[in-house]
């Protein structure tokens, strides 16, 4: 889940929890809204955690050899 999807879940959840006054048989829209907001926040936290984890610097050393098989001087 990216940043956009996390924010979208938060926005849709907030609309369902705070702005919609409709009733649906068997479904509490307030609870669905809160669940969507929590899922969006969790997705944003995981996205930030994994994006920072990939930013660690790594040093790669490569050695090149000429045709004789000897390392360069």
pLDDT digits (tens, 9 = 90+) for 11-40: 999 999 999 998 899 999 999 999 999 999
pLDDT of 63 > 90? The answer is no
Write down the pLDDT at residue 55: 66
pLDDT tens-digit readout, 34-57: 999 999 999 999 999 988 876 666
Write down the pLDDT at residue 71: 64
45, two tokens: 């936290």
15 vs 61 pLDDT, higher one: 15
50 backbone dihedrals φ, ψ, rounded to 5° = -75, -30
Pairwise CA distance, residues 21 & 40, whole Å: 22
């Amino acid at each position: 889940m990216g940043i956009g999807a996390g924010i979208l879940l938060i926005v849709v959840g907030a609309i369902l929890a705070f702005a919609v006054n409709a009733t649906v048989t068997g479904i509490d829209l307030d609870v669905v809204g809160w669940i969507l907001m929590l899922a969006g926040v969790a997705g944003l936290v995981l996205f930030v955690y994994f994006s920072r984890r990939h930013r660690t610097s790594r040093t790669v050393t490569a050695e090149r050899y000429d045709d004789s098989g000897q390392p360069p001087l």
